[in-house]
Amino acid sequence: MTFVVIEGIDGSGKSTVISLLSRLLPRVYVTREPSSSPIGRLIKEWALREGTADPRVDALLFAADRIEHYKREIEPRLREGYIVICERYVESSIAYQGAAGVPIEYIKFINSAVPKPDITVILDVDPEVAIARVKQRGAAEKYEQLSFLKRVRGIYLSRAAEEGYPVLDASRPAEEVAKEVARLIEKRLGSRESTS
């Protein structure tokens, strides 16, 4: 019944770390945003392409996808007792659409319908390293540009300082990063058991 979100720029290793985590922890349900819903598909097939939507439209689509994703997928799994690990959530909207020029207060407002995660972890890596990692995957998406990812990283780090999110050095081997995230989750689970 713990809602964990893994954040970080493209290529920081979120998907890699999450797949390792699902082997380190019991009863894990893994999901990601954009979701597999029709709104998520619209984002992937249209909004994430180069030079398409206005950044406010992106922000609105991501927020709409997130409300559906939370209600239809995340909340039911939490009720069933899973540790839900989600790749990207509200902080991705703040960092990416914020870097694209949308006021952060506007992004926070349109995301106020969904609850905060129990744990948000930021995987931090130099954008040059991240770009080199994702280049091996093929054509870059519209956000995968060095100057843009530098701004995204800056927002993630200032949000982490404001909100107290743990920032993990994700230039290390993924196994090491995953073990550290697992320890953070276990600590949180342990402290909850001892208070309830």
Binding site for Mg ion (CB under 5 A): 14-15
* DSSP β-ladder status, 119-124 and 2-8: parallel
Q: Is 34 in the site for ligand ATP (CB under 6 A)?
A: no
Binding ligand ATP (rule: CB under 6 A), the pick from 15, 22, 145, 158 is 15
* Strands in 53-148 per DSSP E: 83-87, 119-124
Residue 168 backbone dihedrals phi, psi, to 5 degrees: -105, 140
* Euclidean distance between CA atoms 45 and 57, whole angstroms: 14
User: Quick one: CA torsion of 186, 73, 23, 188, rounded to 10 degrees?
Assistant: 0
Cβ-based nearer residue to ligand ATP, 39 or 123: 123
Length, in residues, of the chain: 196
Q: Is 127 in the site for ligand ATP (CB under 6 A)?
A: no
Ramachandran assignment for 62, one of left (phi > 0), alpha (psi -120 to 50 degrees), beta (any other): alpha
Q: Are 130 and 11 in contact (CB under 8 A)?
A: yes
8 binds, among Mg ion, ligand ATP, none (CB under 5 to 8 A by kind): ligand ATP
Site for ligand ATP in 141-170 (CB under 6 A): 170
Binding ligand ATP (rule: CB under 6 A), the pick from 14, 69, 77, 153 is 14
Q: Is 8 in the site for ligand ATP (CB under 6 A)?
A: yes
Q: Are 86 and 40 in contact (CB under 8 A)?
A: no
How far does the chain reach from its first CA to its final CA, in angstroms?
A: 13
Cβ-based nearer residue to Mg ion, 20 or 110: 20
Instruction: Confirm or deny that 9 is annotated as ligand binding.
Output: yes
Q: Is 38 in the site for ligand ATP (CB under 6 A)?
A: no
Binding ligand ATP (rule: CB under 6 A), the pick from 4, 11, 33, 40 is 11
In whole angstroms, the minimum distance from the beta carbon of 147 to ligand ATP comes to 17
Q: Is 93 in the site for ligand ATP (CB under 6 A)?
A: no
Output the known binding site for ATP: 8-15
- Sites of contact with ligand ATP (CB under 6 A): 8, 10-16, 133-134, 136, 170, 173-174, 177
